Amino acid sequence: MTNIPETGRNPRVQIRLVVIQVLVLSLLLTLGGRLWYLQIREGAAYAKEASGNHVQQVVEPAVRGSILDARGVALADNETRLVVSASRTDLLKMKDDGKEVLTKLAKVLGMTPKEVQEKVRLCDAKTPQPCWNGSPYQPIPITDEATPKQALQIRERAEDFPGITAEPEAVRRYPSPGKANTAQVLGYLSPVTDEEIKKAQNTNSPYLRSDQVGRSGLERQYDKALRGKAGVTRYEVDNLGRVIGQAEADPAHPGDNLVTSIDSRVQRIAEYQLNEAMKEARKQHDRNTGTNYKADSGAVVVMEAKTGRVVAMASNPTYDPNAWVGGISAKDYTRLTGKSSNYPLLNRAIQGQSAPGSIFKVIPTAAAVNAGYSFNGPYNCSSSYSIGGQVFKNFESQSHGAISLGRALEVSCDTVFYALSHEEWKRDGGTKPKKNANDWFYKTAHQFGLGKETGIDLPNEVTGRVPDRKWKLDYWKANKDVWCRTGKRNGSYAEKIAYENCLEGNRLRAGDSVNYSIGQGDTLVTPIQMATIYSAISNGGTLYNPSVGKAVISADGKTVTPIKPESHGKLPMTQKTRDEIDEALAGVATRGTAAWRFGGWPQDKIPMHAKTGTAEVYGKQTTSWFATYTKDYSIVMTISQGGTGSGASGPAVRNIYNALYGVSEDGDIDSKKALLPAPQKALPKVKTDGTIASPKVSKDPAKDQQAKKKDPNAPDPLQPATAAPPTPENRDTRRRRRRGSRRCLA
């Protein structure tokens, strides 16, 4: 062929073609090398980045465990509410971002479309409430108060409501069985904070933004057990957040149930009686202030003496714990925490502290015996006791002559304890204490567990205070600047006290030791501490850590973890001294200061022991204290600004005992009416499906008890003052404030 010359094969072209070929080869090798580098060498890092790109967690909340009383009655459980929720991911897949569906939904729910849309929008810096601040992959609740009819409409027309669900959901409920409120013991839940979410983020139980956390009481103490473990489902999502697959799912584990030692019936009666006692006290005239008693707050503890378990614990003022469910309203919050609220959230049984007055006297009694004084004495119960020019009077300036310590407890003779405490104070060196001062009276108080928490399984218990030398010094150091600045030698009473304190507040003075010996002065105790101490006297000397929780039972009922009673020591007394004190306290109930409250009590069948106390607080009305025990229970009640120990608290405590043992006013025991003649030992029965059997609860045990008493033969328990008016012989111990005398000391 001639028309196709062979010029294509000339060397320059040939060389250049080879160059092209080499160039092409090197480009391809570059690609291959780079591909190897990305996929093989750095592959793991990119795989990790890719997985972070497209996985979203959806947390399914665990059903919170119930809190049950000793018989299985629910004090806190969950109620099923119909919650209508919208899935944002589904809505966003629609052409109009779900606007049409939401409008339809608003019509069904009786809301405006705007309301519904606002509920579904996500919170950000520019979006004001209402908005959803949880995970966008979480179904967003629109209402938790849907009626069954609305829910049915939505569910039956599912094709009209894509992405909308109407599901029953568990919401916390405090059912108050038999009107037993138990508010402060149960505590409450409130929404989780950002910090808590962050903290729990990488644990095996992350919080939901919508989660509730126990904030006080048992809800807080046992939060971890009650909360269970939230289920986590990891979804793969695309770049717009649309779910394209499910990666892995951990199912939710419902929370454990907590069985407490509370008996809801006794709890109700304790709450009712405390409230009645306070109402009654407010009708009583206070001679000292010239007004009626204010009875502004009070608490009562019913404890199993042999275990320290709390059968009932009431604090007044109180509140409805359901106020917290579903988020507390601003109004309710102010009502519960505002300045004028009188702080109903406080559990005054463990968080209220005040001077114990004469119920403290068992401690100086034991202290005196330990210091080497004879129990039998005799000791002179004079009408007054003087130190220097300062005169400390006995209650109503009574005098009982030479008596034993036991009799001193019975009649609550102050001067006997003044003398003993003052003598020990002098022995320890007075205002210039010896190096190895025995400080028997203070040491004993510490050994009784005062000045520190009892270790009850409730949060934020307060310690009370033993005003010993160390405390005096610390307190002086902390306050001397203020005292020395405000104190005036010839000023008002408060200014004079400040002046005194500035000069010598660092030292334990004779007057301090005298006041301390009868539970006055700077001494502070909590009702739970006193219940623990009187239980210990009852049970032979063991100081149990009070407990409310009795057992933790898993949701399936298969794992039962009992909470065993634990002790934090023994009372510092011999068995003999305990028996002597025990006898004296029985004497208080039969012939001493509390006898008028236990008229007709079947002492031979159910030996009752009691001690009354009326503590003075500067600038306030007297605090009523009443500490009692039988072989099984101890009950301690206190009413702030309530009057005398037996006067204000006596009838209420008697009524609680009546209910426990089925005792009528005239002393008959009807075991059928007895709510709890012996402490409930067994745990409630767990059914095979994991639920816990619970007995029927009467509508209001307190009303039942009253109905019993409406028996025409029985005296009206609500009018105890008229039934047995106080007489000078068996009235409460009560002291005048040593105002004048104090001045002399200065």
Let me know how long the chain is.
746
Q: Which residues would be at the binding site for other proteins (CB under 8 A)?
A: 1, 3-10, 12-14, 16-21, 23-25, 27-28, 30-32, 34-36, 38-40, 42-47, 49-51, 53-54, 236-240, 244-245
Helix 510-517 with 440-447: angle, nearest 10 deg: 40
Helix (H, G, I), strand (E, B) or coil at 328: coil
Residue 190 or residue 233: which is nearer to other proteins going by CB?
A: 233
Residue 48 or residue 157: which is nearer to other proteins going by CB?
A: 48
Helix (H) or strand (E) segment spanning residue 467: none
DSSP state of 64: P
DSSP one-letter string for 116-145: HHHHHSBP-TTPPSS-B-S-TTSPEEEES-
Q: Using alpha carbons, list the distances in angstroms from residue 467 to 131, 386, 739.
A: 54, 22, 20
CB of 25 to other proteins, least distance (A): 8
Residue 87 or residue 577: which is nearer to other proteins going by CB?
A: 87
- Measured CA to CA, the distance from residue 680 to residue 375 in angstroms comes to 36
- 167 in Cβ contact with 85 (< 8 Å): yes
- Measured CA to CA, the distance from residue 523 to residue 610 in angstroms comes to 21
- Measured CA to CA, the distance from residue 142 to residue 98 in angstroms comes to 14
CB of 240 to other proteins, least distance (A): 7
Which residues, including other chains, have CB under 8 Å from residue 653's CB and lie 6 or more apart?
A: 273, 300, 597, 626, 628, 635, 637
Q: Label the pairing between strands 257-260 and 67-68.
A: parallel
Q: Within a 10 A sphere around the Cβ of 17, how many other Cβ atoms?
A: 11
CA-based torsion, 138, 141, 146, 149: positive or negative: negative
- Measured CA to CA, the distance from residue 549 to residue 313 in angstroms comes to 13
For residue 400, which amino acid is it?
H
Q: Using alpha carbons, list the distances in angstroms from residue 435 to 41, 266, 430.
A: 76, 50, 12
Both tokens assigned to 534? 């009187």
Q: Dmax over Cα atoms in the chain, in whole Å? A: 155
Both tokens assigned to 602? 């079947």
Which residues, including other chains, have CB under 8 Å from residue 628's CB and lie 6 or more apart?
A: 534, 589, 594, 608, 609, 610, 611, 634, 635, 636, 653, 657
- Measured CA to CA, the distance from residue 368 to residue 540 in angstroms comes to 19
CA-based torsion, 68, 681, 305, 457: positive or negative: negative
Helix (H, G, I), strand (E, B) or coil at 634: strand
Helix (H, G, I), strand (E, B) or coil at 235: strand
- Measured CA to CA, the distance from residue 131 to residue 119 in angstroms comes to 5
Both tokens assigned to 676? 């709890």
- 185 in Cβ contact with 548 (< 8 Å): yes
Helix (H, G, I), strand (E, B) or coil at 304: strand
- 600 in Cβ contact with 667 (< 8 Å): yes
For residue 408, which amino acid is it?
A
Both tokens assigned to 87? 């899935």
- Measured CA to CA, the distance from residue 699 to residue 498 in angstroms comes to 54
- Measured CA to CA, the distance from residue 471 to residue 506 in angstroms comes to 9
Both tokens assigned to 54? 């497209």
- Measured CA to CA, the distance from residue 335 to residue 323 in angstroms comes to 10
Q: Scanning the structure block, which residue is given the tokens 């291959």? A: 32
Closest CA to 454 of 529, 360, 365: 529
